Structure 1
């Protein structure tokens, strides 16, 4: 048996990483650099919350959002009864852990950075100078990049009877709110309910919410333009990235669907480069494929079908997990989602640390502890502070640790054998004190195994996708991956 991989222990800073988007013709590849977005964090906040604690908490909050019970997620006003995030887990910018890109919108074009999110399908950006972002990651309202529809000659509000209005509202809701006006809009005797504009939307995420109006405008790239791109013009947000979000999930509102992309791919830069603005990853829209060395996994649908939110997610045909080369015995719900939306494995760029349902997490964590075999002492202090476990104390004077391999096995024979830096993180303030499994779970509530709407059992997050080329082949309904360096220098 091959010896376990050695985990080098360089200083590790966990910050935001971000990406740029431009529309593309369906068969033509457009490659764009990933770039760093380092939002402000108040010193007092940073001193009271370890970066990994915020990152773990945000990953858990995001997972609970994806696992929400109520499918009508666009109109939710709260968390839907999910177990609360630990009290130590403040959701601050460095804990979002996303990747973002620059969208060029309007006439003339206005560039805006937005986060890439494969776990949702609505794109939205802050609108108007009066945009309000509560508990967001910008140091001041004036620092928030805002799109101004009034400065764009191609911008228009989406109508109440426009089919895209049903992207954010049910047909029953619109039947009540979209009655034809018996008088001219704005007239003194015109009922307020008789509006021809699509009613305001409200979208809830694990870390907060956003609300506003649907608009349509031109999305631009060098040499081409996509008119009538529909997105949210947000007026108020809570605990959100200040610059907005681009939905790359399944469904008509998504960027791939509106741009008619047969595929898209990304290469997520390792977080060890978070402090180096001279290197970048990449986002590719369109193209012909990843080429040599790619492994492909079938994309499967949840038995819940297109029912929201499950119809938005990219489900993978997982067949097993191994730790240290040994298969972990997992419950059936890890491999397939039932008609109620419970179970299955999805891939999500908006989740940082991979989430495992408690029924899946416990066998995996036990296998890690067993494979370590008592060579390293458990660090309960690190586990309590960070909300990650198991954590192992670094032996005094050690510069590396022998840790078990973690691999995901998929239908068709594809195996994602993760490098150790993709599933263990260095913990400690100043000097390195411990390493922790970079996976989160929720022990405060039951797994909901088999319950309606209890959501995916496994959410494969972006931390585990570092230095992988990941291709979403929408035509052939498959996801490809290949391990490679995602580091490139700007020209």
Structure 2
């Protein structure tokens, strides 16, 4: 998940597409020193959203924790088919696994035993239509690195190109994500049904545009894009001038279908939230569709703040820098040398024994054997506080930083510091504020006032207020 790299393709085999795309990405990595999180981001121009009627009711949906993210259920088609996809603020396109026969995902062995609901079948929906090449959303999905008009790619005649009336379908597209994932599909329109407030009714959204994807690489589950682009779900539903909020349940509820996190979209998400800690959204000149905030520093316990480098607070002339807030990236990523400085400060405050075994097994840089006896696992691990622009001090819940990676063994449990290095070589965002560190706090995306708010909260209680589960 996270940021994407759109690429255009016509009818070619997935193998050839993957080989070509991965070859170009590898060479881009060699040229620019890209790492595993954000690869080869291209210049993404802002495309004006198509005219959408303003939403008159708010939308509220449950999010289910699953593995490394949070799932939202999409009710697509006539009759509706329920497809679960990841909610992702770091991309625009909404896509679902698609196909009447099969959905193929290469290099997805980790998900072999975690199959979700079957793929969406367009032929079983009476309202399903292929989007046309004249659609502004077709132009959007092909806009990043294709210099040609999508109708020209579709093989339209000169006369229909000039008149703008070509009836051909939107050409197939490919969409590449920052961590190397790739999806190939066609742009499709169908009816989407969402749950509304305050009447708890169902709203039908006709001609919702999404990717119908039959083949992927490292992307086993569909994605609902919540970025600011024309293709995003909030944009198509008419909420782009309002906002949305979520409250992610703690990691212990992951894979438990009985506990879900509340997602609220519309005026309800941003009203009566003035007591929240708000930091301004930064405007990237190169990546305008994503949510950036500025990090001034991080303090460890009661220690003085470790000052963040300037590229975490602002952008360079090429639009690189800033801190991306992304529900589609699991852990917070920080750039060097700031990351190593932070680890050094943390290590100097901890008296527990390092667990080299778990550091090797998990890939995290700091793991410690902490006391755990008589069912109580208390420790003196330091608190972590983020300092964002506008004097926002956000103290993270301790479990959002140090997490037990094993069951108690004897009188000890191993806890690891769940931050990671941002090794993209200075290309794209300088850091990412991941979903794991956002747990047990309500996060508000106030798109009207262009700011992001935080408030520590028991998200289980918040979900119960919406009737998602009983405490």
User: Do the two structures share a fold, i.e. TM-score over 0.5?
Assistant: yes
Query: Residue 220 of structure 2 corresponds to which residue in structure 1?
Result: 241
Q: Of the candidates 306, 327, 333, which is equivalent to residue 328 of structure 1? A: 306
Query: Residue 187 of structure 1 corresponds to which residue in structure 2?
Result: none
Deviation at 1:275, TM superposition (A): 5.4
Query: Residue 24 of structure 1 corresponds to which residue in structure 2?
Result: none
Q: 1:278 to 1:362 in 2, by over 3 A?
A: same
Query: Residue 295 of structure 1 corresponds to which residue in structure 2?
Result: 277
Partners of 2:459 and 2:283 lie apart in 1 by: 29
Query: Residue 319 of structure 1 corresponds to which residue in structure 2?
Result: 296
Query: Residue 354 of structure 2 corresponds to which residue in structure 1?
Result: 378
Contact 1:382/1:391 (<8 A) preserved: yes
> Higher strand proportion, which one?
2
Matched, 1:420 2:402: no
Normalised by the length of structure 2, the TM-score is: 0.76
Q: 1:321 to 1:420 in 2, by over 3 A?
A: same
Partners of 2:235 and 2:279 lie apart in 1 by: 21
Structure 2 residue runs of 5 or longer lacking an equivalent are 10-19, 38-64, 161-165, 195-200
DSSP 3-state at the match of 2:182: strand
Q: Of the candidates 337, 351, 358, which is equivalent to residue 329 of structure 2? A: 351
Q: Of the candidates 430, 437, 440, which is equivalent to residue 464 of structure 1? A: 437
Query: Residue 177 of structure 1 corresponds to which residue in structure 2?
Result: 153
Deviation at 1:291, TM superposition (A): 3.0
Cα deviation, 1:403-455, whole Å, max 9, x if unaligned, reads 2221111222222110111111112366354221110115xx6x634xxxx12
Partners of 2:443 and 2:81 lie apart in 1 by: 29
DSSP 3-state at the match of 2:138: helix
Q: Of the candidates 77, 97, 102, which is equivalent to residue 21 of structure 2? A: 77
Contact 2:82/2:117 (<8 A) preserved: no
Matched, 1:364 2:342: yes
Contact 2:6/2:174 (<8 A) preserved: no
Matched, 1:280 2:260: yes
* Aligned ranges 1:185-264 → 2 under 5 Å: 196-205=168-177, 206=179, 208-221=181-194, 222-242=201-221, 244-261=222-239, 262-264=242-244
Deviation at 1:466, TM superposition (A): 0.6
Partners of 1:271 and 1:456 lie apart in 2 by: 26
Cα deviation, 1:142-162, whole Å, max 9, x if unaligned, reads 965211212222211111122
Deviation at 1:174, TM superposition (A): 2.6
Pairwise CA RMSD: 2.9
Structure 1 residue runs of 5 or longer lacking an equivalent are 1-61, 87-93, 185-193
Partners of 1:338 and 1:484 lie apart in 2 by: 35
Partners of 1:319 and 1:236 lie apart in 2 by: 41
Partners of 2:372 and 2:204 lie apart in 1 by: 58
Deviation at 1:314, TM superposition (A): 0.3
* Aligned ranges 1:382-393 → 2 under 5 Å: 382-393=358-369
